[in-house]
Structure formats: structure tokens, C-alpha cells
Amino acid sequence: MKYSNNILETIGNTPLIKLNKITADLDALVLAKVEYFNPGNSVKDRMALKMIEDAENDGRLKPGGTIVEGTSGNTGMGLALAAIVKGYKLICVSTDKQSKEKFDVLKAVGAKVVVCPTNVKPEDPRSYYSTSKRIGEETPNAWYVNQYDNPSNTVAHYESTGPEIWSQTDGKITHFVVGVGTGGTISGVAKFLKEKNPDIKGWRIDTYGSVFKKYHETGIFDENEIYPYVTEGIGEDILPKNVDFSLIDAFEKVTDEDAAIYTRKLAKEEGIFAGNSCGAAVKGLLQLKKHFNKNDVVVVLLHDSGSRYIGKIYNDDWMNEQGIKTESIF
């Protein structure tokens, strides 16, 4: 008989799927690493499990303990699956800009959800960064994960996602494109791939309202770059320790509108029902068209599932309220 002993054993080994219609104008072969095939429907399952296992091994997380994390939803889902199997409680702290579906899913798998305001500075005691840290300190037998600065986040992708991509492309990958949030995916994958072949290029997709692109280009952390944005899952108003800028060749910014439209186009044209940051990644890839040729093999990582965004990106009324004309999708 062939079976998994628990849901955690199904994490990883996600498929690489050729994009056809949406990338028809590109000369390169474009392959999507579709991470919603993980059991928690996102790439974050990988690092959630790794962070928990490492904390168990060094004693930071003790039997029967409570896991506390600030999350936009996907990391929380990965942590929730591991908490169920391993017998931990989970408190997820998030922001009010996240989709309702993300909160509903977290509650469905037993997590307590605390919602904080989005439009406050990271150091504000009301922010989800400050709140999650405080809850971790105040809760007995708790462990505060801190995915932004937790090195196990990066290690997870160095040990799993990177090797999978290398193997699936027979080592022929020339470019890796991915949105950047906590930095773990890009840093872990890029480190592995560049050790295999230093010529592999890594482009990171950012959003307007985030500090990453300007910091990478100038070394300046410019607070004037920070303002509210709609796109979920990428961009930051802080510099996480997991973002290794030395492994990044360039950043490309994508607007909220384009991210939303191309998320819908992925579903309509490729049958890939993906999340908001996935549309940003694909649009960023298309904006980089001039850098590709017919011999290139480009891998774009698609972080999560569209099921998290039914009430927003996949809702015409919501799109129209944001001033995004859905006619351009059809």
C-alpha cells in the first residue's frame, strides 16, 4: 500500500506547468511552479513545517505549547496544519486588508485570529508586527515564530523548492521570477540555484507602496516609498532579515490593477486558479519581455490558490469598487 502517514507528508513536490496563452508573446519557455498543490494551498506550507521542526529540535517550542505568528494568512494555514498534527495551539495575527476567506480558513482549522489595522507603522503597538510579538511574550508556553527574520524560512526553500526546480528543469533553468514578501522563498531558492549555476538570473516582483526596489537599487530605506496598496502577499514596509539582496539581480514593480487583472487572466486563459501575488508575478514577467530569448527557460513561482480571494479579486463588484474594469479580462 502507498499512503501518507499524515497531511504534512504531502508537502512539496508541486508540479511545473507550462504557460501557453498568457505568455504567447514571449520567446522563452515559461514554466509555472504551482504551489497551491501543497495541502494548505500555498508555498508557505514548506517553511511553516521547517520553522516548527527546528523550534522543536532546539527547545523553543515545547510540547502542548502555543504558536504565535503575524501572517497574511498563508503562513498561518501552514502552521495550522502542523499544529493539528503535532498537538499545538495557534494564534494568528493579521491585518484588516486581508481577504475574509483567509480568516475563515484559519478559523476552520482551529486557529485563533487577531486582526490589526493595516495603515500604521510597524513600530506602532497596534501593528500586526508589534501585536504578534506582544502576544508571544504574554502567552504562557508560547513561541513567536517571526517568519520575517527566522532563518528556517530560507532554509526550507534551499532544501526543497530550489532542488525541485533544478531537478524538474533538468538544470536548464535560466531565470527565476517570484514575488517577494518575507524573503524566504527567493533567498532559499536563489541560493540553491546560483550555487548550481551562477549565471541563473533572479528577478523579484514588488508592488508600489513597498520599499524593496528602491532599497535594492540605492541602499536607501525611503519611508516616502511606503503607502497603502491592495495587492496581497508581496511587498513590505520593513526589511526582513530573510531578504538576501545579494542574491537578487533586479526588482520589477507591478501595479495593484495589473496584479488583479493578471490573476484573473491566469484563471481564464490557463486554468490556473491562483492568488493575487501570482498575477503580479506573471505581469512582472511580461514586463521583462526584452530580457528573454528563445533559448531561455523561465520559472515563475505561483504562491497560492485563488480560493483565498473569492470575495475580492474574483468578485466583479469588488473589482469595480477598486476602479478595475473587468471588461479587460474577457
Give the angle subtended at the CA of 309 by the CAs of 314 and 125, to the nearest 5°. Answer: 140
Beta carbons of 83 and 71 less than 8 angstroms apart: no
List 33, 44, 86, 194, catalytic entry: 44
Query: What amino acid is encoded at 316 in this protein?
Result: D
Q: Is 197 helix (H, G, I), strand (E, B) or coil?
A: coil
Q: Where are the beta strands (DSSP E) in 103-150?
A: 112-116, 142-144
How many Cβ atoms sit within 10 Å of the Cβ of residue 25? 7
The span from the CA of 315 to the CA of 319, in Å, is: 6
44 has catalytic annotation: yes
Beta carbons of 313 and 326 less than 8 angstroms apart: no
The span from the CA of 194 to the CA of 179, in Å, is: 18
CB-based contacts of 63, cutoff 8 Å, min separation 6: 87
Beta carbons of 49 and 78 less than 8 angstroms apart: yes
DSSP 8-class letter at 308: G
Show which residues are catalytic. 44
